[in-house]
Amino acid sequence: MVNFSNIKGFTFDLDGIITNTAKFHEQAWHETAREVGTVWTDQLATDLKGISRMDSLEMILKAGNHENNYSQEEKIILADKKNKKYQNLIKQLTPTDILPGIHQLLDDLKDAGYLMSIASASKNAPTILDRLNIGDYFKGIVDPASLHAGKPSPEIFIRAGHILGFEPQEIIGLEDASAGVESIKGAGQTALGIGLATKKANPDLYFDNTDEVGLAEIKRRMI
């Protein structure tokens, strides 16, 4: 593992790291699953974390062996319907929905001069940051619509690193999904995983919860 003194910037996943929109994604996808006749399981919910909208739909269809029952047009209609439901749910987000410890971490990183960017698969990320009132902490947000491949491809974290203008070994990426940890590692950054779901991908640093992740604790583990 690189020494913390080399670190200059942080790339953040959004859903599950900064706020728990995962529960809204889950609620909306659960409804889609019911509509197409796929049985909803906790494993499916976990596997969908960090996966792009269309890839998530494909996974739900495949889980019920329905992948060949829908045309591309019908799939787009299903995904749009899920997104409208999700957008309605996230209207209730306020700054109190920032996950425990994260506001403190953002403040400490900013005060210490580290740069931060967002590597979220969500096309709704700008709206969510606005609702949480934390958009100003970040130098930029990767536009997921411009990517060739979603997580676990390293592309999104490579692009988030380019926004910062630093080398991969100067960056720590934070993720709550195993697909995301794979993406960070593929990009050559130090992967900080939060939550059991990340263990599958062997993050360089592991924390059970967001409130355990502080600047001092990260430093302590990397020296």
| Residues labelled catalytic | 13, 15
The CA-based dihedral angle spanning residues 61, 66, 71, 74, taken in that order and rounded to the nearest 10 degrees: -50
Does 17 appear as a known binding residue? no
Decide whether 83 or 104 has the Cβ nearer to ligand B16: 83
Question: Which span (1-9, 52-60, 102-110, 215-223) binds ligand B16, by CB under 6 A?
Answer: 52-60
Question: Which span (35-43, 50-58, 65-73, 164-172) binds ligand B16, by CB under 6 A?
Answer: 50-58
How many other CB atoms sit within 10 Å of the CB of residue 165? 12
Decide whether 151 or 205 has the Cβ nearer to ligand B16: 151
93 contact partners, CB below 8 Å, separation of at least 6: 19, 21, 128, 131, 132
Q: Which residue shows structure tokens 């900064």?
A: 18
Angle formed by the axes of helices 155-164 and 178-186, nearest 10°: 60
Does 178 appear as a known binding residue? no
Q: Which residue shows structure tokens 């700008």?
A: 126
Does 13 appear as a known binding residue? yes
**Distance from C-alpha of 37 to C-alpha of 53, rounded to nearest angstrom:** 18
Among 11, 15, 173, 190, binds ligand B16 (CB under 6 A): 15
Does 49 appear as a known binding residue? yes
Decide whether 16 or 193 has the Cβ nearer to ligand B16: 16
> Which tokens sit at 93?
């987000």
**Distance from C-alpha of 6 to C-alpha of 19, rounded to nearest angstrom:** 28
- Residue 56 interacting with ligand B16 (CB under 6 A): yes
- Residue 47 interacting with ligand B16 (CB under 6 A): no
Does 56 appear as a known binding residue? yes
The entry of Mg ion, ligand B16, none that residue 48 binds, CB within 5 to 8 Å by partner kind: ligand B16
Q: Which residue shows structure tokens 């690193």?
A: 161
β-strand 205-207 against 190-194: which pairing, if any?
A: parallel
Decide whether 48 or 222 has the Cβ nearer to ligand B16: 48
**Which residues are near ligand B16 by CB under 6 A?**
13-16, 25, 48-53, 56, 83, 120-124, 177
| Known binding positions | 13-15, 29, 48-53, 56, 82, 120-124, 151, 175-176
